Copies of this chain bind each other. A is one copy, B any other.
Amino acid sequence: MQTNPHDDDKLHEECGVFAVYGHEDAAALTALGLHALQHRGQEASGIVTTDGNQFNVHRSLGLVDRAFSDPAVMARLTGHYAIGHNRYATTGASLVRNIQPLYADLSFGGFGLAHNGNLTNAQLLKKDLVKNGALFQSTTDTEVIIHLMAVSRVDGVAERMVDALRRVQGAYSIVACHSGGIIGVRDPLGLRPLVLGKLGASHILASETVAFDIIGAEFVRDILPGEMVIIDGEGVHSRMPFGPAQPKRFCIFEYVYFARPDSVVEGRSVYASRKRIGAELAREAPCDADVVVPVPDSGVPAALGYAEASGIPFEFGIIRNHYVGRTFIEPTDQIRHLGVKMKHNANKAYIEGKRVVLLDDSIVRGTTSRKIVDMIRAAGATEVHMRISSPPVSHCCFYGIATPSTEELLAHKMTVPEIEKFIGVDSLAYISTEGLYKAMDEERNSPGRSFCDACFTGEYAIPLTDYRNQSEQLTPTDLERLQAGQK
């Protein structure tokens, strides 16, 4: 239904969150912030606004600019504070009730919650809650948090939230609203990002700084791993409810692909990081070639870095159609045979007769890479060398990134030489995990390293309780599909 510039052959961030306190246009700011975070979830979005008394909810499938373009919808979203959420839904239109923010009337009043991340013991907790009479509205892991809060015997909204979060495992960057204000919290390992900003006297929380830029807000600081911030009329109060800060395990893939290049994440420019990774890759895997061509758009900064470090000229040898997205024609066999190029087109003048270094950020299933290599060869390249600015993705993510099942990951079932052959290139090289850390100014083997790299290494920093119990290994997506199948 929607033009989705994201590639089906990429991993997908599952969510973006936004919250603002103390602005009369809270709903509009939230919609704009979600729009800037659209790359973190394109299938659905929602906003909860409130003045502390009345809570207003609007949730809708589709892109933010459609979901919140109806003036009648916006007029209903009154109140001086708001939270919002973008979702990458895995199971389709039928599950409108899974769109976040979730909302419930609890004994202490209205409560809205939006979550970026994924819990790894939600099923276990849910089973127990249902046994005790809980009615689940959605099939999301997130709802477990609200139920735990509903049955908590502790006083105070923030205290109940802490009580609930102490029982969950997993990755979470959460924004919530209640009658007293908004709350932001990040899991103790800080797997997913969450930043604090301000706009005049208003306070803002968001997944990335680009959500501040769009509305002219100022970046203040990153929320710390394990930190809870409570925002109300008196300002921003910080707590460390899970004990003193532990070593961070921030998702390194945010730098490789997920975050927007113009975001500053945990103190680093994403664009600059990508260029550094590209430069490191040029050192690790040099290549005798005529031109460095990025697979647009995500491969561009790494390609610039590779070109600068290697001295090989950078050119847009592949042009991306601005209007592209889904394949809108039902293909006949004939049409299928043509290999319709909906998204990318070779810029022949810069390919023909050239030895091409193709730069991409990652390979997931490999289907798109194959087609692009074919296209480059058809345009007359004499050699095609693929360079990838991440290590091979060989393990599923359980912390908030939608990955296909392990069996579908090309790097799980093939060696690099096999992949080289599969996608049909003259040479293929991935950056090494060590090289990736080096580009980020860290050492992989240092105990103080601050990144999660489980998708490359299989070293999971948080127990996978729900998944280890299954007879077959399931991804979070599989689990959700399973749940939804009951409806």
* Chain A residues close to B by CB (< 8 Å): 3, 5, 23-25, 28-29, 31-32, 35-36, 38-39, 42, 54-57, 63-66, 68-69, 71, 74, 76, 94, 97, 103-107, 110, 130-137, 146-147, 150-152, 199, 210, 213-216, 260-262, 264, 269, 271-272, 297, 300-301, 304, 308, 313-316, 319, 321-323, 325-326, 328-332, 334-335, 338-342, 345-350, 485-487
Contact = CB atoms under 8 A, between A and B. Distances in A.
Contacts of A24: 332, 334
A150 B332 CA distance: 38
Contacts of A130: 105-107, 150
Contacts of A147: 133, 135
Nearest to A219: B348
A136 B486 CA distance: 20
Given A36-B321, A64-B323, 19 more contacts: A23-B334, A24-B334, A28-B331, A35-B342, A54-B485, A64-B328, A74-B329, A103-B487, A107-B130, A133-B152, A134-B134, A135-B135, A135-B137, A135-B150, A213-B341, A269-B349, A271-B350, A272-B350, A301-B316
Contacts of A341: 213-214, 216
A92 B133 CA distance: 30
Nearest to A132: B151
A97 B137 CA distance: 10
Contacts of A29: 335
A214 B340 contact: yes
B338 A215 contact: yes
Contact of A55 (B322, B346, B487): B487
18 contacts: A23-B334, A25-B334, A29-B335, A36-B345, A56-B487, A65-B326, A68-B328, A103-B487, A107-B131, A132-B151, A133-B134, A260-B319, A261-B319, A262-B348, A271-B316, A271-B319, A271-B350, A272-B350
Interface centre among A131, A151, A210, A316 (most CB of B within 10 A): A316
Contact of A261 (B104, B136, B271, B316): B316
A483 to B, nearest CB: 9
Nearest to A127: B107
A42 B3 CA distance: 14
Given A74-B330, A262-B348, A487-B103, A3 B150 contact: no
A11 to B, nearest CB: 17
A106 B130 CA distance: 6
Contacts of A152: 133
A64 B324 CA distance: 10
A291 to B, nearest CB: 12
Contacts of A334: 23-25
**Copies per complex of this chain:** 4
A389 to B, nearest CB: 16
A95 to B, nearest CB: 11
A308 B308 CA distance: 12
A347 B104 contact: no
Given A214-B345, A269-B349, A349-B269, A297 B322 contact: yes
Contacts of A69: 328-329
B3 A65 contact: yes
Nearest to A297: B322
B346 A262 contact: yes
Contacts of A5: 322-323
A221 B201 CA distance: 63
A25 B333 CA distance: 10
A137 B134 contact: no
B332 A28 contact: yes
Given A38-B323, A319-B262, A330-B71, A345 B133 contact: no
B213 A345 contact: yes
Instruction: Pick the most buried of A69, A146, A342, A347: most chain B CB atoms within 10 A of its CB.
Output: A347
A210 B261 CA distance: 28
Nearest to A69: B328
Given A3-B65, A214-B345, A349-B269, A323 B135 contact: no
Contacts of A328: 31, 35, 64-66, 68-69
A222 B322 CA distance: 25
A94 B150 CA distance: 24
Contact of A215 (B55, B57, B97, B340): B340
